[in-house]
Amino acid sequence: MYWLSVLIFLPLSGALVVGLTGRFSAASVRWIALAITVAELLIALGLWWSASPDSNGYLYIVQAPWIPIMGIQFLLGMDGLSLLLVLLTALLVPIAILVSWNSIRHNWPTFAALVLTTQAGIMGVFLALDLILFYVFWELMLVPMYFLIALWGHERRLYAAYKFFLFTVTGSLLMLVAILGLYFIHGEQTGIYTFNYFELLHTNLPGNTGMWLMLGFFVAFAVKIPLFPIHSWLPDAHTEAPTAGSIILAGLLLKTGAYGLLRFCLPLFPEASVDFAPFAMVLGVIGILYGALLALVQEDMKRLIAYSSISHLGFVVFGIYAWNQEGLHGAMLLMLAHGVTTSAMFAIIGMLEERVDTRLLPCMGGLLAPMPRMGAMLLLFTLSAMGMPGLANFVGEFLVLAGVYQVSAGLAIAGAMGVVASAIYLLWMYQRAMLGELSSEHAWSDLDHREMLILGLLAITVLWLGLYPAPFLNYLQVPASVIIELNTATLVGIEDALRRSD
């Protein structure tokens, strides 16, 4: 299905046109970038509408030779999980363009080119099924994000950009070493040297080899999630990034790490992942509580939401390594819910900053009276982020905790404490920003039509995920079942080996 290629090459081509020609004004570039990203959204919706899975659960496959002498192919595939993440990407990137409409005041051609290149890289990550192709797209999305932070960020933008780049590139290099190790081991066993994901699934990894290779992938994905204790780049990156950068980081780049665990770590290394699961779940619950506790003491709204992301992504890791139907469905659904909810909150914080020229909660207060529409929208997304029933995050968090409870009641109770803490710090944030008396006299302006369009689209998505998640869960059924079957087969194999050793 050539439309998968279009999802990658359309924004990449648009980036080259607007970034290199220098023939367009800032106003023209804004409309060109918006048109390209809206076209991406329409294509993604069309793929969703016409999706029909094959026997392996894949909806679409594209395969063509690329560097055949090394066994590298241009191999793209879309199953239910990648379809929903492609839809999330196609929704949030035009939101990022619209949010930046007035806030980016210089060098729009370069800004738009970097955003479109980032979108191409993220689309490639969610679609690539050749491991070298996946690595190319993984790196492609990092470089433009570095420049988005460094060029359009706030006061400490260079420090935040360097930190982001060093953490992510270090993890990427470890993954590259693991990819090459898997490539050579598979070649020695079969005589076929390939980076084809479907072929590598059948590689036999003796002894501790599987654990070491799995850790190479895991560290790269854990940095991107980000998972405790390799999370410290995220608060700085979020705080210093422009609003569009924060939306893309929170809504999409963090999801590539969780996607990597689901697509590569668990299927390629099932035995090692089973052995590592208890440790990963402990890291997940530490992230939940650690992120929530640090969010409680933040004065900067962006930094507070950044730490809340660490907490919510801990739930995703929690559910993935519970490795049962409820946990996996909850983790996958929470990826979507967090992407929409947190992106909306960063968008609102950016809109507030444009009006009051600060993100500090002590400098706010009483904003609900002069800006009732903004206050209502912020309340909706705050309630969603804290897991209110009927809104997006509730279903995912409930399923994750139900799945973890089947594995460990103690860990499930500890995770539930994170939900309680999130209600405290999010309501505290809302109370300080929106309620009470006005902290200063100002010519306040409420949401305009563009801002209402942005938040309205995200509000509809949040309500849809919360009130009627069935269509999304249906697409996640097959990917979750495949991972559960891998776990079952692995556990049976381990039990058989133990019986033989007895």
pLDDT one-digit tens code per residue, 223-272: 988 888 888 888 888 888 899 999 999 999 989 999 999 999 999 998 88
Asked if residue 28 belongs to a domain, the reply is no
- DSSP label of 202: T
Statement: the pTM of the whole predicted model exceeds 0.85: yes
| Alpha-carbon distances of 348 from 46, 153, 194, 247, 402, rounded to whole Å | 29, 17, 46, 11, 32
- In the chain, the amino acid numbered 56 is N
- DSSP alpha helix (H) spans, 228-368: 233-240, 243-248, 254-260, 266-268, 270-295, 301-322, 325-356
* Percentage with pLDDT > 70 across the chain: 94
Asked if residue 331 belongs to a domain, the reply is yes
Range 449-452 contact pairs with CB under 8 angstroms and sequence separation of 24 or more: 450/98, 450/101, 451/351, 451/374, 452/373
Q: CA angle 109-111-114, nearest 5°?
A: 105
Asked if residue 168 belongs to a domain, the reply is no
Mean pLDDT of all residues belonging to the chain: 88
Tell me the C-alpha distance between 351 and 357, whole Å.
10
Peptide bond into 278 cis (omega under 30): no
| Residues sharing a CB contact under 8 Å with residue 307, sequence separation 6 or more, in sequence order | 235, 291, 292, 294, 295, 298
Tell me the C-alpha distance between 433 and 430, whole Å.
5
Q: Average pLDDT, stretch 403-421?
A: 89
Domain range spanning residue 372? 278-438+445-477
- DSSP alpha helix (H) spans, 78-156: 80-99, 108-127, 131-152
Tell me how many domains the chain contains.
1
Residue 337 has pLDDT above 60, yes or no: yes
Q: Are 118 and 248 in contact (CB under 8 A)?
A: yes
Q: For position 379, what pLDDT does the model report?
A: 94
Asked if residue 143 belongs to a domain, the reply is no
- DSSP label of 23: -
Asked if residue 401 belongs to a domain, the reply is yes
- In the chain, the amino acid numbered 337 is A
Q: Are 33 and 14 in contact (CB under 8 A)?
A: yes
| Alpha-carbon distances of 48 from 3, 253, 396, 471, rounded to whole Å | 12, 22, 21, 11
pLDDT one-digit tens code per residue, 191-200: 889 999 999 9
DSSP for 348-398?
HHHHHHHHHS--BGGG---TTTT-HHHHHHHHHHHHHHTT-TTSHHHHHHH
Asked if residue 459 belongs to a domain, the reply is yes
| Alpha-carbon distances of 438 from 166, 268, 345, 371, rounded to whole Å | 42, 56, 21, 11
Q: For position 493, what pLDDT does the model report?
A: 46
Q: Are 263 and 318 in contact (CB under 8 A)?
A: no
Asked if residue 151 belongs to a domain, the reply is no
pLDDT one-digit tens code per residue, 437-467: 776 667 678 888 999 999 999 999 999 999 9
Tell me the C-alpha distance between 411 and 13, whole Å.
47
Residue 82 has pLDDT above 50, yes or no: yes
Asked if residue 198 belongs to a domain, the reply is no
Q: For position 490, what pLDDT does the model report?
A: 57
Tell me the C-alpha distance between 122 and 226, whole Å.
17
